[in-house]
Amino acid sequence: MLPIEDLIIELEILEPFLKRQGFVLDNYKKEENSEGHFIVASFKNERKKFIINYKDSIRQVIYQFDDSVVCHDFYLDQLGLAYKNQLLDFQSDNKLLSFKHILEDFEFLISDFFNGDCIKLKEFSKRQDNVITKPNEKL
């Protein structure tokens, strides 16, 4: 199957939850980088976006509120829940399992991202920016 066909099937695991939270499919885009082609799927609820970068499996999961952006692992880590992160192996051979793990991890993000005002996401976004930009400034 083509990656987009795989992704459509696998997103069916997340869609019921996302719909209950008021998210609708926003976009599918084909992108390209040095590793080849991949797909970006995004779901939107007003000022919030849930984004998956997908090639042969999940490459990255992102949560966005306005201009504030946080990656899945960093979000859970900053919440003090890194040890509960189910989505540890993005390159898993079992693609459906990865999507089930994301769904399980959503439990930890309901009060801030899905139902809340993203207060923690905005705070963590600044920290994530510092983690990324400070070492690069020293280089």
Number of domains in the chain: 1
Distant-in-sequence, close-in-space partners of 75: CB < 8 Å, separation ≥ 6: 63, 109, 113, 121, 124
Question: pLDDT digits over 63-110, tens only?
Answer: 999 999 999 999 999 999 876 776 655 555 667 788 888 999 999 999
Backbone phi, psi, residue 75, to 5°: -55, -55
- Gap between the Cα atoms of 69 and 30, Å rounded: 20
What's the predicted TM-score (pTM) here? Answer: 0.85
Question: pLDDT digits over 8-40, tens only?
Answer: 888 999 999 999 999 999 988 887 777 777 899
Between 61 and 98, the more confident residue is 61
Between 114 and 93, the more confident residue is 114
Domain holding 36, by residue range, is 3-138
pLDDT computed for residue 110 by the predictor: 95
